[in-house]
Amino acid sequence: MQKNISQKTSMSMFALIVTLSIIACATTRDSKRVDMEKLLRASGFKMGVADTAEKLAELKKLPQREIVPHEDGDKIVYIYADAENCKCAYAGDEEAYEKYQKLTHAKQLADEDRRDAVRNKQQQMDSQDSSFGRDW
């Protein structure tokens, strides 16, 4: 009887861990997608929605979730397509793409600074915890 309860508890814990892991992955993916869309808009990319079945079919033909250059006459247009989530595409000219690259680089630097600050704070707290009580 005790063994059955223990097995059920273990299985329940395993199921909970798997569920939480899946949620965490989905949340991270959604967060990255939202960040990407914000960067594109801030850079001057314009969004177009695939609001018909025909437009969605065309959108699905494009490389997904990456910025790809396309020739449009004598100029280059950069396209970011996402048929799965927003069912939209972002289009920008060379100026928008250059701004996107600068913003992306600035975001990477800010993210690194934030990670360094968290790591330094954690190390500081760890060193304080390890010295706590020595004077007692």
Residues of the chain with pLDDT under 70: 1-29, 129-136
Q: Is residue 52 part of a domain?
A: yes
Q: Note the pLDDT of residue 24.
A: 44
Whether 31 maps to a domain, the answer reads no
Q: Is residue 13 included in any domain, yes or no?
A: no
| 44 CB-contact burial (10 Å; exposed 0-12 / middle 13-18 / buried 19+) | middle
For residues 95 and 76, is the Cβ–Cβ distance under 8 A?
Answer: no
- Domain encompassing residue 87: 43-136
What is the structure's pLDDT at 32? Answer: 83
Q: What's the structural domain count of the chain? A: 1
Assess if residue 6 is contained within a domain.
no
Taking the model in full, what pTM does it have? Answer: 0.64
